[in-house]
Amino acid sequence: MLEISGLHTFYGRIEALKGVDVTVPKGEIVTLIGANGAGKSTLLMTICGRPRATAGTILYEGQDITHMETFNIVRLGIAQSPEGRRIFSRMTVLENLQMGATTGNPENFDTDLERIFTLFPRLKQRQTQRSGTMSGGEQQMLAIGRALMSRPRLLLLDEPSLGLAPLVVKQIFEVIKEINEQQGVTVFLVEQNAYHALKLAHRGYVMKTGEITMSGTGRELLANPDVRAAYLEGGH
């Protein structure tokens, strides 16, 4: 579904991506793990067109989107839930979800909203609450829900577990699994929480200073001694 080859991205003279190759097959959850500053967020942002890649290609369902405008990329069915959640904190939960639906067909709104509320019952209870006053976990649910309102076929998630309590992390990962299995959405998940991410994902990649250093099935990477030593802190 997504085929990234030889991707290079710079911030000024800093080369953040140094020839990255990643494949995300349709229907799968693929995770990208790596330490702070490895370039994970940069890869997700480059897929969405900002920053721009200086070399390499990004194919989405066979179509070259490397130089496409971000709003056209979104129209193709790619949605991103960015790092740090970036919800509209002064708006209510419902208003945030409405914002996520702006690229979709208005006729689908009620059905889509119900679908999000089934996935995240907490959001239904909190519809009229200002989203900035919700807990970190609730805000993360909202960020994912908002991304889903555009009916994406490919969902890009940037560190959904960041700063959340272990129990909430577990809930969020269960919902990601549900979105993938029941709604057929392909997921590309960037995570520092390597244990949960690799357990969930069909396939994984490890990134280190702008380069992919390892790849394999989630299970293979979880069992790999180098991955365990560097990213799993004694198993977790």
- Residue 4 pairs in a beta bridge with 22, 58
Binding ligand ATP (rule: CB under 6 A), the pick from 20, 40, 149, 186 is 40
* Omega before residue 106 within 30° of 0, cis: no
16 touches ligand ATP by CB under 6 A: yes
Q: Is 146 in the site for ligand ATP (CB under 6 A)?
A: no
If one asks whether residue 36 binds ligand ATP (CB under 6 A), the answer comes out as yes
The CB density around residue 226, as the number of other CB atoms within 10 Å, is 11
Q: Is the separation of the CB atoms in 165 and 6 below 8 Å?
A: no
As given in the structure block, the two tokens for residue 166 are 């272990």
Closest CB 40 distance from ligand ATP, rounded Å: 3
Q: Which stretch binds ligand ATP (CB under 6 A): 32-40, 94-102, 170-178, 213-221?
A: 32-40
Integer Cα distance of 81 and 84 in angstroms: 9
- Least distance (Å) between residue 222 CB and ligand ATP: 20
Exactly one of 192, 195, 216, 219 binds ligand ATP (CB under 6 A); that residue is 192
* Encoded tokens for 53: 């890649």
Q: What phi and psi, each to the nearest 5 degrees, are found at residue 129?
A: -80, 140
The one among 42, 46, 96, 131 contacting ligand ATP by CB under 6 A:
42
Point out which residues bind ligand ATP (CB under 6 A): 11, 14, 16, 34, 36-42, 83, 192
